[in-house]
Amino acid sequence: MANSNLTAAKKAKNDEFYTQYSDIQKEIQAYVDFNPDAFRGKTILLPCDDPEWSNFTKFFAQNFERYGLKKLISTSYAVESKVYKDGYQVTMFEESAPQYDSDKTKTHGKIFILERDLSGDGKIDVDDLEWEYLEGDGDFRSEEVKSLRDESDIIITNPPFSLFREFLPWIVEAKKEFVLIGNMSAIGLKDVFPLIKEDEMWLGNGFHAGNAYFSTPNAREYASGVYNEETGLVKFRNCCWFTNIDHARRHQPLQLMSMADNKRFNKKLKKKPAYDKYENYKAIEVPFTDAIPNDYEGVMGVPISFLDKYSPEQFEILGICENEDLYNLKSKVYTSAECKQAYLDKFGKKGIYDLNASGVLLKEGLLVKVYQRVLIKHRQ
């Protein structure tokens, strides 16, 4: 029991990340640059937020009139409902408010609403935020927060990474527009990838140079190189924005070389005489996005990171290399005996090499799995 509690507490600590204001600004501005009315007349919900600390609430409150918002709603999760409770402190903003309740602040979530000029200064901004305690703890799965979801037009947040798989369907079932931060590894999940394949969700404008920097109360627990003592931020390379709001970058085609030029000039291919072919898919292995040949008409397996450069006008997504063969793309399914033999051949001991989980190459007489691949082809 002690170990399970410790694991749960560690997971909770690793879920508490605060997005930088500049990252929010850069991402949201990309949608407005593409469509100046992207948020006009819309009600925006920021769930899984912590309005007193979060930059999401500050950003949209400060840009309420600029983006022409109708209403801004932001909710937080009660501290006593969190697995990891250390480090909590009441803000002066809350403590000085007439509705402050020392008991409710621990057991109830809070809701912040912005929709009118309360201060009387002729504009609607952060000074006009109203707040009160929710009836419950603010869990996004509660009926209370679900009703706020149904009221909203767009949902924007950085949800707990461990709950992303639950959070995304919660939005999709309500047919809302959204902008979310998540781990790129979520792309391979069978309830996530179909949304990308069917062009119902795509990657957003992205973090600068592919690096996401978050503040967290537990930053010092991260290793050097991940945690920067000077900035107090932790760095992650595998985070991205997921959205169904359009932006210009997803319509920019990749500039690519021919297959012959790639084999001759692309240093990443080390002047290979030919592209490898999978043993279990009728497709070639393309290990780097910039190595996609512009003149190959067949199926290609590319890294998941390709989706950050994916243009639906340039490529068609056919599926993903995975166990269940949901898209009927496998040309071979390996038996248990073949997986055991492949493990013995490769590692010299007994085990199971799950060859059906990915694309498989034949290298020096051995069957070798590649990292997860998205299967694509050029649009005609």
Return the pLDDT at 234.
85
For residue 31 the two structure tokens come to 């949608």
pLDDT digits (tens, 9 = 90+) for 70-101: 999 999 887 775 654 555 566 666 766 778 77
- Cα→Cα distances 33→27, 43, 146, Å: 10, 19, 30
Return the pLDDT at 82.
61
Return the pLDDT at 22.
93
Residue-wise over 238-248: b if at least 16 C-beta within 10 A, else e?
Answer: ebbbbbbbebe
- Residues 235 and 227: their CA atoms lie apart, in Å, by 6
pLDDT digits (tens, 9 = 90+) for 194-213: 999 999 999 999 997 778 88
Report phi then psi at 178, rounded to 5: -155, 160
pLDDT digits (tens, 9 = 90+) for 335-374: 999 999 999 999 999 999 999 999 999 999 999 999 999 9
- Residues 52 and 45: their CA atoms lie apart, in Å, by 15
Confidence of residue 257 (pLDDT cuts 50, 70, 90): very high
Q: Residue 366: enclosing H or E segment and its boundaries? A: strand 366-369
Residue-wise over 114-125: b if at least 16 C-beta within 10 A, else e?
Answer: bbeeeeeeeebb
Confidence of residue 10 (pLDDT cuts 50, 70, 90): very low
Residues 154 and 71 sit within 8 Å (Cβ to Cβ)? no
Confidence of residue 225 (pLDDT cuts 50, 70, 90): low
How does the average pLDDT of the chain come out, rounded?
A: 89
Question: Is the pLDDT at 219 greater than 80, yes or no?
Answer: no
- Cα→Cα distances 297→278, 314, 376, Å: 16, 12, 10
Q: What is the pTM of this model?
A: 0.89
